């Protein structure tokens, strides 16, 4: 197998011409014959016993060529692409030029990584919006920890009140007739959560376990079930049980249970420090994203479409893998969301384009600045990957070659270089818009349950 020539046929597209020796091709044809002969029926011969010459005479000399080519092309192309020295970014388009007594000549058209130009990537001016940590932020984090360490307690000595969890049976009637989705048994409803139709939960408050009572409500005008929108309804309700999420006391004993600290004051200081670090990391990520966008604006490159398509597929595959780790997959996701694969690709496309352009810019900067990677850094990266994916380090080395690891590390070094050379100004974050400050709009009523808001 040898490369004859590598020829530029259009911008960023090359045609590789390479040979496969006759003896290699003949061996592949013989292998294809032995693999297929069992399925070929020739009159006068037992199944699997027909000679190759007889089969070729009946079906043509090239009857096994396609299978033979499929056998030899991957290795032959791999050798040719490596010998060409090109950085290929697409799958090859093969064209078998000749098959004769000298062997096989194949042409493969491929796209290569484009030439890139970039200037003015040092001294970039960017603002770093770092949010201060306020007392209420610390308090909210402590309350989240208390909630995680709470215990559910049965309520038997008082009526229901806000924030209780009421276990109820209910059935709804409109114009005296039960309606679809209006019935439930053993439903756990947190009073005050706004889960049910406005007014429903308020009328449960004040009742005791065992009470049976009516709840009178009016469906909202914009209710999703049009036949119920704006109509009055009566729910027959039975309160089976009450539960209360009891929070632990906020004292030094609680602190010792949930942390390595002895006092509440020490614990609060630690939480504040961690929140401040989290805010700094968030601000740094914003800076990196802004710098990436600025580099993309300075990038000059004619990028082949296949690079965007490949990166889009990478995003789709990564998303599918994340879903599978949660017991789902893309097919199930599409079923629930009504989205199609093509629509999902379009959704991933802008992010993929940004990734491709950013990577090209950083690779070029790494080359211009002669950024290098040590063997120790490569070894440390192998170790990090192994730990992240829970596999043996030697296995990672089998799957990922050192050159690829080195390129990724150079890109990381380029990110650090641009960040160090940038002029970064710390600023207060912008105040959220009024709608955001008030919180997100409530979700549309669930069609699964006519009683729920």
pLDDT tens digits along 252-309:
999 999 999 999 999 999 999 999 999 999 999 999 999 999 999 999 999 999 999 9
Using alpha carbons, select from 21, 4, 99 the residue that is nearest to residue 61: 99
Long-range contacts of 357-360 (CB under 8 A, 24+ apart): 357/296, 357/299, 357/301, 357/303, 358/292, 358/295, 358/296, 359/411, 360/113, 360/114, 360/116, 360/299, 360/301, 360/303
Using alpha carbons, select from 2, 8, 48, 36 the residue that is nearest to residue 21: 2
Q: Which fold has domain 262-437?
A: Trigger factor, domain 2 (1.10.3120)
Q: Write down the pLDDT at residue 336.
A: 83
Distances (CA, A) of 308 to 3, 11, 115: 28, 16, 16
CB 334 within 8 A of CB 323: no
Residue 311 has pLDDT above 70, yes or no: yes
CATH code for the domain defined by 151-246: 3.10.50.40
As a whole number of Å, the end-to-end CA separation of the chain is 70
Distances (CA, A) of 375 to 77, 402, 404, 409: 30, 9, 13, 11
232 is written with which tokens? 């009055």
Cα torsion angle, 219, 224, 229, 234, sign: negative
Domain ranges of the chain: 2-112, 151-246, 262-437
Rounded Cα–Cα distance for residues 442 and 420 (Å): 43
Q: Write down the pLDDT at residue 86.
A: 94
239: alpha, beta or left, given left = phi > 0 and alpha = psi -120 to 50? Answer: beta
Of the listed ranges 46-55, 163-172, 300-309, 416-425, the one predicted with least confidence: 46-55
Q: What is the mean pLDDT of residues 40-46?
A: 85
Distances (CA, A) of 109 to 18, 20, 305: 11, 17, 15
- Secondary structure letter of residue 439 according to DSSP: -
Backbone angles phi, psi at 124, to 5 degrees: -65, 135
CB 35 within 8 A of CB 67: yes
pTM for the full predicted model: 0.73
Using alpha carbons, select from 292, 215, 288, 273 the residue that is nearest to residue 453: 215
Residue 435 has pLDDT above 80, yes or no: no
Rounded Cα–Cα distance for residues 84 and 177 (Å): 78
Residue position matching structure tokens 């932020």: 137
* CB neighbour class for 306 (10 Å; exposed up to 12, middle 13-18, buried from 19): middle
Mapping DSSP to helix (H, G, I), strand (E, B) and coil, where does residue 122 land?
coil
Per-residue confidence band for 433, with pLDDT thresholds at 50, 70 and 90: low
Residue 446 has pLDDT above 80, yes or no: no
Mean pLDDT of the chain: 91
Q: What percent of the chain has pLDDT over 70?
A: 95
Q: Write down the pLDDT at residue 249.
A: 93
Maximal CA-CA distance, the chain = 97
Q: Write down the pLDDT at residue 448.
A: 31
Per-residue confidence band for 45, with pLDDT thresholds at 50, 70 and 90: confident
Distances (CA, A) of 376 to 136, 230, 372, 381: 45, 70, 12, 9
pLDDT digits (tens, 9 = 90+) for 375-407: 999 999 999 999 998 999 999 999 999 999 999
- Secondary structure letter of residue 452 according to DSSP: B
Residue 237 has pLDDT above 80, yes or no: yes
CATH code for the domain defined by 2-112: 3.30.70.1050
Per-residue confidence band for 432, with pLDDT thresholds at 50, 70 and 90: low
- Secondary structure letter of residue 88 according to DSSP: B
Distances (CA, A) of 418 to 240, 276, 374, 413, 415: 63, 24, 20, 9, 5
Residue 149 has pLDDT above 50, yes or no: yes
Specify which residues 196 forms β-bridges with.
Answer: 452
Of the listed ranges 41-50, 243-252, 284-293, 438-447, the one predicted with least confidence: 438-447
Of the listed ranges 94-108, 117-131, 323-337, the one predicted with least confidence: 323-337
Residue 56 has pLDDT above 90, yes or no: no
> Angle at the Cα of 255 (from 254 to 259), degrees rounded to 5?
125
Q: Write down the pLDDT at residue 434.
A: 56
Residue 240 has pLDDT above 70, yes or no: yes
**Distance of alpha carbon 133 from its chain centroid, rounded?**
30
Q: How many CA within 13 A on the CB side of residue 427? A: 13
């Amino acid at each position: 197998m040898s490369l004859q020539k590598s020829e530029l046929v259009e911008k960023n597209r090359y045609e590789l011409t390479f040979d496969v020796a006759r003896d290699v091709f003949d061996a592949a044809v013989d292998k294809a014959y032995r693999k297929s002969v069992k399925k070929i029926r020739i009159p006068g011969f037992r199944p699997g016993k027909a000679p190759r010459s007889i089969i070729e005479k009946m079906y043509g000399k090239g009857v096994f060529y396609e299978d033979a080519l499929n056998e030899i092309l991957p290795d032959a192309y791999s050798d040719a692409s490596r010998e060409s020295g090109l950085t290929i970014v697409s799958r090859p388009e093969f064209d078998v030029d000749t098959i004769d007594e000298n062997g096989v000549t194949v042409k493969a058209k491929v796209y290569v990584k484009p030439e890139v130009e970039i200037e003015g990537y040092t001294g970039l001016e960017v603002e770093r919006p770092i949010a201060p940590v306020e007392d209420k932020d610390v308090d909210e984090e402590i309350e989240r920890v208390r909630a995680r360490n709470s215990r559910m307690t049965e309520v038997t000595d008082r009526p229901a009140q806000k924030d209780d969890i009421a276990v109820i049976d209910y059935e709804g009637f409109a114009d005296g007739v039960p309606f679809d989705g209006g019935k439930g048994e053993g439903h756990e409803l947190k009073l005050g959560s706004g889960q049910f139709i406005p007014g429903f939960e308020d009328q449960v408050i004040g009742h005791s376990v065992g009470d049976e009572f009516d709840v009178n409500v009016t469906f909202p005008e914009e209710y999703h079930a049009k036949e119920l929108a704006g109509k009055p309804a009566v729910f027959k309700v039975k309160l089976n049980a009450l539960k209360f999420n009891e929070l632990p006391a906020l004292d030094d004993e609680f602190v010792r249970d949930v942390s390595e600290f002895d006092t509440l004051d020490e614990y609060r200081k630690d939480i504040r420090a961690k929140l401040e670090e989290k805010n700094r990391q968030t601000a740094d990520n914003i800076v990196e994203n802004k710098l990436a966008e600025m580099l993309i604006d300075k990038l000059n490159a004619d990028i082949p479409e296949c690079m965007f398509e490949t990166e889009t597929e990478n995003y789709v595959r990564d998303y599918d893998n994340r879903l599978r780790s949660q017991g789902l997959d893309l097919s199930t996701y599409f079923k629930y969301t009504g989205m199609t694969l093509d629509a999902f690709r379009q959704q991933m496309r802008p992010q993929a384009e940004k990734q491709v352009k950013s990577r090209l810019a950083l690779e070029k900067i790494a080359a211009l600045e002669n950024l290098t990677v040590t063997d120790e850094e490569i070894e440390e990266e192998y170790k990090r990957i192994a730990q992240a994916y829970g596999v043996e380090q030697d296995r990672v080395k089998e799957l990922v070659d050192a050159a690829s690891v080195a390129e990724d590390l150079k890109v990381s070094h380029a990110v650090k270089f641009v960040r160090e050379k940038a002029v970064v100004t710390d600023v207060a974050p912008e105040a959220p818009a009024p709608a955001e400050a008030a919180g997100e709009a409530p979700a549309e009523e669930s069609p699964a349950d006519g009683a729920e808001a």
